[in-house]
Amino acid sequence: MGHVLCLLCVILSLQCLLAHQPYQGELSPNNSSSNNGYTCIDSKPSCDSYQIFRSRKPHDSVEAISELFESDPSELARINSVSLSAIFQDGKEVFIPVNCHCSDTYYEIKPKKLPNGSESKVPLKCACPSNKQIENDVKYLLSYLVIQGDSISSVSLKFSVSPETILDANELSKENSDIYPLTTLLIPLEDEPFFNGIISPPRTLSPPPSTTKISRIGLYVGLGIGVGIPLLILCCVFLHFFCFYNRTKRSGQVIDDENPSKPVISKKKKLTEFFDDLGTNNGLKVYRYQDFHAATNGFSSEFRIKGSLYFGNVNGIVLAIKKVNRCDLKETIKTEKINHLNVVRLLGLCFNQDSYYLVYELMENGSLSDWIHEPNRSKTLKWMKRVQIALDVANGLQYFHNHARIPYSHGNVNSSSILLDTNFRAKITDCRLAGSKKARNAIDGRGYTAPEHLQNGLVTPQMDVYAFGVVLLELITGRESIVQHQEGEVLLSEVIIQLIEHDNAKEELKGWMDPVMDGNYPLDMAFDMAQLIADCLRQDPERRPSMNGVFQCLSKIYAASWLLSNNSSGSMRHK
């Protein structure tokens, strides 16, 4: 009997220990991707849950964010009290509704089925309420990614939840309540989440003064003031416009017919004020709007490349002309002017009233995506040409990471942000130009987005390495980053990573190589490329190679392929 009581006590103790989830307070941003998530406890096997995502281009709209997290756009819009077409400000915290699922031991976002029967897991932490929390009216657990400056008290105010409830849900205490950036904090909610905005207290209105009897003289004075002041104001306005018109006429300024009070400032003065506002023009050439208007026939559709990007012949040079907003123009001009063989060059700018344009060198053969995903065009891309394109892009990215005056990450690497010139040499677009292109998979980024970006939103060089691995995969397979199967959409990267681990991986790889190459490629070099891809796509960013390492590896593949091609009279058909 005593043994039974002891066993019962142990079970009850374990249930109490597993009632909530322990806070994992790692300081390293990379550790968040190395642990397995929250342990499944005694609640139901799945539940509705919420994540916090901080918006950043190109993931700054309801459509893009819902695609990224595979959420229902209408539900995402509803929970954030916005329209389906809403665009979020940079850094805006967005609620993401997800389905949290218990897989064996740990909770995870409900996975997708792959063609071979395995599952594609979304690397995000989530949890379901325990029975004890449900008894206390907790319906949801929101996964909140801690940022610099957060504390238990500030987070509790943000979500209108008591600090004690958050401490209890994360197995913290008042004595041990420190939280660290890039770690996950569970927020217990009794209802759907909302942000607790700070509301200003209403102004206290003074009571109106007591009314007294007005004398007849006071009435006359009041009427005189009431009629005289408006007449005086009208006279002043008339005199102002009369004098202003004569002054602007004598000075040669043109009057805007729709707004006579606002003269059209001379182009030279407007240009000076514009660059004073920017602080610099970074040595860029300023083009005349009239030249662009004539070169594009008034920006007609026949000169449109895609979206707001046009081409036109200006003074004998064919240029790419992109219409942007003022903020994007300022951001682009203030950044370092890059002059590199494998980066599309920004040549200048132009503006006309409230319209702004950036001028780039024209890449005649368009985007890599347009070639590798169209069979009739992809036949042009032989093995050596594909490796050369990969080498060009790697060279451009490693320049961003290591050799720019202020090294930075591109943040939007995909097959649509890689452009080809007349000789099929590749250049990567400036990250701002890339971020504004609505490519097939670039705008939602699901196929290219590294898992750590989903977790914490950070843009790092290792995120570029991951995305570049997907581009390499597209190059050798001819498939898009997201492929369609009977089970639905599947990430191509998931399939290839599993293939590489098989014993007969080299033979299986043949079935995934682009069929338009008709086997005319060195299988050993193709397998080396596939292994490099698998390294780039590692879940742990610390285990991925640097872009310089990727460049060195591709250089060896290119050299070996070139030697093989020359020794076999141009044919590299494998047996």
Give the CATH number, domain containing residue 340: 3.30.200.20
At 38 the pLDDT is: 85
Residue 477 lies in a domain: yes
Q: Are residues 439 and 522 in the same domain?
A: yes
Distances (CA, A) of 298 to 280, 285, 294, 311, 491: 29, 21, 6, 12, 42
Residue 196 lies in a domain: no
Which amino acid is it at 382?
K
Domain closes at, from 361, 378, 395: 361
At 410 the pLDDT is: 87
Q: Are residues 71 and 104 in the same domain?
A: yes
User: For the chain, what is the domain count?
Assistant: 3
Q: Are residues 483 and 507 in the same domain?
A: yes
At 188 the pLDDT is: 93
Range of the domain at 509: 368-567
Which amino acid is it at 245?
Y
Question: 409: closest CA among 400, 417, 418?
Answer: 400
At 445 the pLDDT is: 56
Residue 262 lies in a domain: no
Give the domain CATH number at 493.
1.10.510.10
Domain closes at, from 316, 346, 361: 361
Q: Are residues 391 and 511 in the same domain?
A: yes
Q: Are residues 397 and 481 in the same domain?
A: yes
Residues whose CB is less than 8 angstroms from the CB of residue 323 and which lie 6 or more positions away in sequence, other chains included:
299, 308, 310, 355, 356, 357
Q: Are residues 316 and 389 in the same domain?
A: no
Q: Are residues 87 and 160 in the same domain?
A: yes
Q: Are residues 372 and 399 in the same domain?
A: yes
Q: Are residues 419 and 552 in the same domain?
A: yes
Q: Are residues 390 and 336 in the same domain?
A: no
At 104 the pLDDT is: 76
Regions of the chain short of the pLDDT cut 70: 1-20, 25-36, 42-44, 110-123, 195-283, 334-337, 430-446, 484-488, 568-575
For residue range 338-395, list pLDDT tens digits in order. 778 899 988 888 888 778 898 999 999 999 998 998 877 777 899 999 999 999 999 9
Q: Are residues 416 and 336 in the same domain?
A: no
DSSP alpha helix (H) spans, 213-266: 216-251
